[in-house]
Structure 1
Amino acid sequence: MSEKNREGKRTARERLAVEREKQRRAEKRRRGLIVGVTVVGVLGLAAVVGVVAANAGRDDGGEKAGPVVAPSGAQGKDGLAIPVGEESARSTLTVWEDFRCPACKSFEVTYRPTIHELTDAGKLKVEYHLATIIDGNMRGSGSREAANAAACAQDAGHFAAYHDVLYDEQPLETDDAFADTGRLIELAGKVKGLDTPAFRACVRDGKHHSWVDKSNEAFRAGGFTGTPTVLFGGKNIVQDRTMTPAKLKQMVERQSGQG
């Protein structure tokens, strides 16, 4: 490997680490704020309980939550995983991600070619779980709307392609551009066969909003420290500073009996 390539991979890892640290600090600040508000609210517990009850079943925009509708083909516990790749693949990569998350995009840029190669070859299956932590950290609803749109794309059989488009077109973390369903529908035009009346209605109506909320609850309940969380063999490979696309490929091929 050339010195230039080694430097490029090192830079990508460092960028991913920086973004995850920023995310961790933002989450810590958010939790601190919640704790502070809770302490103050003890004096008015009855009123707080009333507010919580009044807002139960509503999302951040005040919209009443609907039934949990999993996208077509969703798998795993509570149908929260969107699978990509052959079911018969001997290796599985579990990815927890947020479409507004810069660190998730950094992971995508670095690992996408290798993941595509392995899934296309039938050696790897990827289970995608969608989270909305940036909406909580930065405020907004872009993570939720983008995740809903991705679930709509799964209904149409175009999740993988649309997933990649969302990362290619990811706005700045502070720009809640994905909250605009019109923008999400516009991006569907980059995926052949996706921009249909059914897809548009699914995106505009928030068909999978409650499913996205449930997925995010599962992320928090899992005790993960941030996105992306990428599990292979039960270990978060994002936390392994020695991990590279080449090493991941080697691990998958070893499990496939080809390494």
Structure 2
Amino acid sequence: MRAERPPVPERLPAPAIDSHTHLDACGAATAADVTAILDRAESAGIARVVTVADDLAAARWAAQASTWDDRVYAAVAIHPTRTKEFGDAERSEVERLVTGERVVAVGETGLDYYWDYSPPEAQQEAFRWHIDLAKRAGLPLMIHDREAHEDVLRVLDEEGPPETVVFHCFSGDAEMARRCVAAGYVLSFAGTVTFRNARALHEAARLVPAEQFLVETDAPFLTPHPYRGRPNEPYCAAYTVRGLADLREERIEDVADAVRRNAERVFRLPSVTSG
């Protein structure tokens, strides 16, 4: 039996944005499903979301779903764990999808050395191609980096990063955060930043400048404390906003406002100033 979703928290005092979620993996298939998820999110103060693809089917769906509800935008790419076979057909399709009116990022792409699904060489080749695509399309690059910090930074340096780089579900320590901040990259914090044993991540979250962080759910994964292990959904980003505010010893409304303003700048979204 599937675990029950966490309760919808009290509405944030200022609207925020979930910068990385997977609405299809949350169970959404239709426009009505998407609207229901976004209604729950909005009731918690999460005004908009970016739904992210990990394979071609998900990319097609994300681009389409972003047209069903004005609160939804999309990012498309091929996940590094799915790059074992990444040929001309896949590249052509991704290039077509990034031209969608509501596609706001190339992602998620990068390197994943935790899972043994795609050889590192294939991942790096695909990563380099996605970096080039982001530059050609004039879109931010949304990076998946799991146990591959040094190679991710090296490849970015070798290829030359696009104007905007987002480290989705940032998982590095304070030193990694300092290097990313110095390079001008944006760090996106998921529910992991609220985990009590994530001390290195806590330290990283405290030092990131206000203009260089985002909040995400990566739903249905990485549900914030105290509901770790339950199914995640975009409304749970409100728990992470509160957890991040506590870590940084800042007002909840200030963190929520920074998250919103940064997401609007990074993804070039129209401004929302009220919940």
The answer, yes or no, to whether TM exceeds 0.5 is no
Give the greater-gyration-radius structure (CA): 1
Q: Whose strand fraction is larger, Structure 1's or Structure 2's?
A: 2
Q: Which TM-score bucket, shorter chain as reference?
A: under 0.3
Q: Whose helix fraction is larger, Structure 1's or Structure 2's?
A: 1
